[in-house]
Amino acid sequence: MMSVAVTDAEMTAPAEARKIHPAWVRVTHWVNAIAMIVMIGSGWQIYNASPLFNFEFPLAITIGGWLAGGIMWHFAAMWVLVINGLVYLALGIYTGRFRAKLFPIRPSQVFADIKAALTFKLAHDNLAVYNAVQKVLYLGVIACGVLIVLSGLSIWKPVQFQELTTLFGGYDFARYVHFSAMAAIVTFLLVHVALALIVPKSLRAMITGR
């Protein structure tokens, strides 16, 4: 299995020359971002047709214009998200990037990094190494991505995927699972974008790879 562990040479190389994100990471990242934004906006349009809670999303932040339009956009983005997500997961496992970047996770490090983040002392000097909080968030959003796809399938085809729908506690409860996973992903995206603005070199690295 290939390895993407950071070598001593990479650690001592100038930041401008250090390779942080290979091309496949950058491409799948931006495709996922676009597909997820379309999924969320169109999903809010679908939600408004049959709300789960006592509120609706403003039309200005939905995609599709009406229920049928929202469904068309949702399904179109769904296939892009699933295919691109599978490519990302497969390459992340095959190349060893997930193992090198996201593990191990030690509870003591998580608590220490949360404390550092809350006191604005969390370092971002080396973008090639993820802190414990980043590891937890990235693994969490990957898990939410899998959950939202599976719960979405159980809502889309509750008869064809009746075993899956049953696993989620039935059609109605699957909708709540789907909504909860969406809310978690939206929260992650807001935090992710905020951190990218606070540490602009991280955004630059996701564009140039260095």
Q: DSSP string of 59-127?
A: GGG-SSSSHHHHHHHHHHHHHHHHHHHHHHHHHHHHSSHHHHHH----HHHHHHHHHHHHTT----S-T
Map out the domains of the chain as residue ranges. Answer: 14-94, 104-204
Question: Does residue 7 carry a pLDDT above 70?
Answer: no
pLDDT digits (tens, 9 = 90+) for 43-62: 999 999 999 999 999 999 99
* pTM for the predicted model, two decimal places: 0.84
Residue 10: what pLDDT? 42
pLDDT digits (tens, 9 = 90+) for 116-136: 877 877 776 677 788 888 899
Tell me the average pLDDT of the chain.
87
Residue 91: what pLDDT? 96
Question: Does residue 12 carry a pLDDT above 50?
Answer: no
